[in-house]
Amino acid sequence: MDSSVGNDIFDRILSASGPLVALKTNDPGLLVEQFRLVARRTGQAVYLWRHGEGLASLRDAQMRVPGCQRLGDALRYILQSLHFGVYLLDMPQGVPSATDGALLRQLSRTQTGHVRRVVLLGANPILLATFENDVATVDAEWQARAAAPRLRDGRWIV
């Protein structure tokens, strides 16, 4: 995958209409690596939460957020954050607990003075249906769009 595709998807996440974004992709691992490159190149605060690993920075692989092993703890941390951040959540299979669902709904409706995006990777349709219009969907299938030209800095890029 071309690195500009990762930038394109990252830009579309940042310009989403709300703080909660569902990312549709067939290869989340490759996309996470693209976001890791974006975070390292731009210095953006991008985090990844995975079951068993907790919340970690993509920019600095060694930096883990303490006390965020469980999904609920990571969601509370994100709610309390006062800074720019993109948080990728590798959603576990099945429906989240009632507490985690309530925290996700609260995140989807919270407006802040800074950009905060919570990106759901691998979220099942049952979970997404509970958010109704509070979740924005970004299609990250780059094969269909890779050849489409786009305008960047006044130039067309193929």
The per-residue pLDDT for range 27-59, each reduced to its tens digit, is 888 888 989 999 999 888 999 999 989 999 999
Tell me, what's the pLDDT at 148? 64
Which region among 4-13, 42-51, 123-132 has the lowest average model confidence (pLDDT)? 123-132
Give the integer Cα–Cα distance in Å for 7 and 24. Answer: 16
CATH code for 3-157? 3.40.50
Could you tell me the pLDDT band of residue 144, with boundaries at 50, 70 and 90?
very low
Round to whole Å and give the CA distance between 99 and 79: 14
Distances in whole angstroms, Cα of residue 38 to Cα of each of 14, 54, 66, 113, 135:
13, 21, 24, 23, 23
Domain ranges of the chain: 3-157
The radius of gyration of the chain's CA atoms, rounded to the nearest angstrom, is 15
Q: Where are the alpha helices (DSSP H) in the chain?
A: 3-14, 28-42, 71-80, 98-109, 125-129, 142-145
Give the chain's mean pLDDT: 84
Distance CA 45, CA 39 (A): 7
| pLDDT at residue 26 in the model | 82
- Percent of the chain with pLDDT strictly greater than 90: 32
**How large is the average pLDDT for residues 5-31?**
86
Highest mean pLDDT among 27-31, 64-68, 110-114: 64-68
pLDDT for position 158: 66
Entry pTM: 0.83
Q: 89-103, pLDDT tens digit by residue? A: 998 887 788 899 899
